[in-house]
């Protein structure tokens, strides 16, 4: 019998050398480590070849203190990880989650496709269309570049954000079929400090302040460019969410992979943060239930599970469909910011009744709250 898996997509944008290969290798290696908690779900790579390559990179860091080589220049990749719920009583709606990680090559920000090679242009357009299903996009800010430009960080940040903005606008005509703006598009753009171990004194609030002080106008310009791609452009978050990411602590002759930062928050950010943000948009803007339902992947499965975990809605919530307007907005309006203690209680209660889908989402919510306590994550829209 085939498993019922819910796809969740994330898009990762970063210049060449910003640490994308090391990040994804460390993320996957973390989930394969014997110390990783598999009481709710186990993570596997849908492609054995890709999984083994990522695990080899991780083991190279763990055992040989050697970082992996960067991917080939211009190599667009998507990695698919499956979270199999491991509890004996799986939810009827789904057996697990399929996380699709889209890596947008850094070279594409700075190099035009060859005018003599239409195939290269088609690869770029196809890659971007694939990642449009993502709810969340991470924009990597290279921690090493911030050191290189210390005191003049705005020069690096302006170039980084301008290159991303220009790449988006240059592909606009090919991406928007018939010029129609999209409903499905990354709505939450998270600025992520990669190689955060190079900045031991910088918490997420200081990172956010640096971005606002040095690149507020450039973030706003990127937001204006993104609005050209989406319908309901008020439902767009950029310059609100920030995270610190570090694949390991790198020292001369040593790589300490267990001293990573923020990688445990990638799954929660991809799944629960979009639900929280849609709830905020529902309270703040006059957006129809039908449109709200279209903005986030799997809202019809995830939201009822999260509401049940928090014991907010006792009655059965119908799936998105003709009755969407009868339940979605009232449900979202009840999804207020939840304290960590309440999420912990919801997690344990869901475990006790063997509702492992609800327990997973409640734990992801708790992880986000803990990430904020550790000053690794800053969520906007509160």
Domains of the chain by residue range = 6-264, 278-378
Please give the pLDDT value at position 1. 42
Q: How confident is the model at residue 334 (pLDDT cuts 50, 70, 90)?
A: low
Task: Find the mean pLDDT for residues 307-332.
Answer: 52
pLDDT at 110 over 90: no
pLDDT at 319 over 50: no
Contacts of 66 (CB under 8 A, 6+ apart): 60, 255
Cα–Cα distance between 357 and 147 in angstroms, integer? 42
Q: How confident is the model at residue 324 (pLDDT cuts 50, 70, 90)?
A: very low
Task: Find the mean pLDDT for residues 327-354.
Answer: 74
Cα–Cα distance between 338 and 328 in angstroms, integer? 18
Task: Find the mean pLDDT for residues 141-168.
Answer: 96
Q: Could you tell me whether strands 41-45 and 377-378 are parallel, antiparallel, or unpaired per DSSP bridges? A: unpaired
Ranking 49-53, 354-358, 365-369, 377-381 by mean pLDDT, the lowest is 354-358
Task: Find the mean pLDDT for residues 196-224.
Answer: 98
Q: How many residues does the chain have?
A: 382
Query: What tens digit of pLDDT does each residue of 1-54 get?
Result: 444 667 788 899 988 888 888 999 999 999 999 988 887 888 888 889 999 999
Ranking 91-95, 100-104, 283-287 by mean pLDDT, the lowest is 91-95
Ranking 116-125, 235-244, 324-333 by mean pLDDT, the lowest is 324-333
pLDDT at 328 over 60: no
Cα–Cα distance between 332 and 72 in angstroms, integer? 44
Choice between 315 and 349, residue whose per-residue pLDDT is larger: 349
pTM across the whole model: 0.89
Residue 283 in contact with residue 270, Cβ under 8 Å? no
Please give the pLDDT value at position 212. 98
Cα–Cα distance between 194 and 144 in angstroms, integer? 8
Nearest to 263 by CA among 36, 73, 78: 36
At 243 the three-state DSSP class reads strand
pLDDT at 316 over 50: no
Please give the pLDDT value at position 320. 44
Cα–Cα distance between 96 and 7 in angstroms, integer? 9
Give percent of the chain with pLDDT exceeding 70: 81
Place of tokens 């449900």: 331
Choice between 299 and 87, residue whose per-residue pLDDT is larger: 299
pLDDT at 315 over 60: no
pLDDT at 175 over 90: no
Q: How confident is the model at residue 258 (pLDDT cuts 50, 70, 90)?
A: very high
Mean pLDDT of the chain, nearest integer = 83
Choice between 121 and 371, residue whose per-residue pLDDT is larger: 371
pLDDT at 220 over 50: yes
Q: Which range has the top average pLDDT, 80-94, 215-229, 274-288?
A: 215-229
Cα–Cα distance between 313 and 298 in angstroms, integer? 18
CATH architecture of 6-264: 3-Layer(aba) Sandwich (3.40)
Please give the pLDDT value at position 19. 87
Please give the pLDDT value at position 190. 98
Place of tokens 């990179």: 57
């Amino acid at each position: 019998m085939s498993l019922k898996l819910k796809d969740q997509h994330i898009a990762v944008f970063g210049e060449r050398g910003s640490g994308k290969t090391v990040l994804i290798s460390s993320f996957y290696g973390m989930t394969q480590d014997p110390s990783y908690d598999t009481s709710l779900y186990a993570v596997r790579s849908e492609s054995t070849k890709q999984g083994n390559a990522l695990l080899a990179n991780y083991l190279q860091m763990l055992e040989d203190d050697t970082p992996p080589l960067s991917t080939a220049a211009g190599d667009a990749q998507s990695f698919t990880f499956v979270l199999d719920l491991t509890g004996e009583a799986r939810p009827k709606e789904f057996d697990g989650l399929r996380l699709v990680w889209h890596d947008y090559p850094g070279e594409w920000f700075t190099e035009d496709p060859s005018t003599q090679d239409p195939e290269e242009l088609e690869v770029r357009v196809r890659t971007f269309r694939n990642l449009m299903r993502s709810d969340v996009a991470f924009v990597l800010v290279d921690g090493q570049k911030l050191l290189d430009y210390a005191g003049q960080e705005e020069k690096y940040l302006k170039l980084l954000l301008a290159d991303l903005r220009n790449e988006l606008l240059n592909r606009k005509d090919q991406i928007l079929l018939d010029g129609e703006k999209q409903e499905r598009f990354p709505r939450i753009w998270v600025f992520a400090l990669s190689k955060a171990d190079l900045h031991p004194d910088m918490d997420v609030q200081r990172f956010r302040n640096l971005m606002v002080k040095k690149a507020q106008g450039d973030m706003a310009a990127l937001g204006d460019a993104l609005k050209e791609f989406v319908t309901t452009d008020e439902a767009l978050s950029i310059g609100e969410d920030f995270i610190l990411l570090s694949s390991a602590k790198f020292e001369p002759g040593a790589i300490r992979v267990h001293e990573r930062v923020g990688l445990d928050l990638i799954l929660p950010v991809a799944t629960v943060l979009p639900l929280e943000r849609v709830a905020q948009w529902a309270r703040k803007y006059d957006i129809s239930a039908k449109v709200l339902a279209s903005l986030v992947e799997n809202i019809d499965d995830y939201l009822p599970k999260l509401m049940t975990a928090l014991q907010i809605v006792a009655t059965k919530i119908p799936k998105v469909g003709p009755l969407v307007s009868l339940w979605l907005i009232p449900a979202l309006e009840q999804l207020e910011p939840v304290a960590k203690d309440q999420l912990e209680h919801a997690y344990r209660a869901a475990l006790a009744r063997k509702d492992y889908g609800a327990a997973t989402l409640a734990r992801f919510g708790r992880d986000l709250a803990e990430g904020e306590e550790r000053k690794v994550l800053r969520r906007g829209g509160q």
